[in-house]
Amino acid sequence: MKNSTTGGAGALYVVATPIGNLGDMSQRAIDVLNTVDLIAAEDTRHSARLCQHFSINTPLKAYHDYSDQAHSEAMIAQLKMGKDIALISDAGTPLISDPGYRVVKLARDADIDVVPIPGACAMAAALSVAGLPSDRFCFEGFLPAKAGQRLNYLQDLMEEERTMIFYEAPHRIVDSLTAIVDVFGAERELVLAREITKTFETVLAGTAHEVLQRVEADPNQRKGEMVVLIKGFEASEKQIDAKVEHMMRCLLAQLPVKQAAQIGAEISGLRKKALYQWALDNKPG
Ligand code: SAM
């Protein structure tokens, strides 16, 4: 069981569990949960049902690292005494919008082996089916619950070029989609992935406005667990700001419109067509 480079210390296993369909539990996750000395769980009653399903009889202990440093320190003490511990959350991968960061950090600082047992994760599952660019993306967790903070948060992401991924609660989805339309515009591509791996799994894709309309019109689309994905900002959407205008005026002073637009596009990353039109409208004389 031990993967240890650290004397008699135990190992901390960070174990992913299903996000709905229990068929997604890996054999390795079952084996590890069966053989560790202790399972540290976010909610022991919830995890007891999972353990029962897989006939895992390992003792469960509650773990809340968001609120309680003592919990993490107690776990480190047990690991140092040679106990193997598995960390699980209610669903999916621990630490992904779930507890675990603190104990993993403390364990690594104490040179204790930290071993990932990978598996389901809602944001990765959603991204894998969204049909949005997946070469670069950023996971933003949950948006702030308060309207003003949420708006500021989204405004900071206005020019984010990577696909953005958010977790969202059903009772906030209409407000969040409305804020997204306000900030990113009605035409921005958006995907809402709901109830992944469960009976009512649904993936809605369209413009932000279209998805908002679907969700407003159908109460079923406001139920369950959900992931919102927003396509990143495209250079072609960038505004011609004062800096670009200044650059274009300098170029136009020396070059014909077509060449100025071409060089301007290379420097700024903006669309040549848009700069060509701007140059026609603003050429000197
Ligand atoms: N650690 C988990 C993971 O790996 O995805 C996420 C935990 S976070 C507290 C819970 C949120 O994840 C939900 O509110 C929802 O946004 C998202 N989520 C979890 N399961 C999901 C599912 N089956 N379908 C869609 N979203 C899900």
Domains 4-120 and 123-235 share a fold: no
Is the C-beta atom of 190 inside 6 A of ligand 1?
A: no
Q: Which of 15, 17, 19 to mutate to test the pocket of ligand 1 (most atoms within 8 A of CB)?
A: 19
CB 118 within 8 A of CB 95: no
CATH superfamily of 123-235: Tetrapyrrole methylase, C-terminal domain (3.30.950.10)
Is the C-beta atom of 192 inside 6 A of ligand 1?
A: no
Q: Which of 167, 204, 228 to mutate to test the pocket of ligand 1 (most atoms within 8 A of CB)?
A: 167
Domain 4-120 has what CATH class? Answer: alpha beta
CA–CA gap between residue 41 and residue 86 (Å, rounded): 8
Beta strands in the chain (DSSP E): 11-15, 38-41, 60-62, 85-88, 113-117, 137-142, 163-168, 189-194, 202-207, 226-230
DSSP SS3 for 206 = strand
pTM of the model: 0.84
Residue 70: predicted pLDDT? 82
Q: Which of 96, 97, 199 to mutate to test the pocket of ligand 1 (most atoms within 8 A of CB)?
A: 97
Residue ranges in the chain whose pLDDT is less than 50: 1-2, 4
User: Inter-axis angle of helices 101-109 and 69-80, to 10 degrees?
Assistant: 40
Residue 2: predicted pLDDT? 47
Residue 6: predicted pLDDT? 55
CA–CA gap between residue 218 and residue 147 (Å, rounded): 23
Q: How far is CA 197 from CA 126, 267, 269, in A?
A: 10, 45, 40
Domain boundaries, the chain: 4-120, 123-235, 238-282
Is the C-beta atom of 65 inside 6 A of ligand 1?
A: no
CB 16 within 8 A of CB 91: no
As to burial, measured by CB atoms within 10 angstroms (0-12 exposed, 13-18 middle, 19+ buried), residue 253 is exposed
CA–CA gap between residue 144 and residue 58 (Å, rounded): 37
Residue 258: predicted pLDDT? 94
% residues pLDDT > 90 (the chain): 82
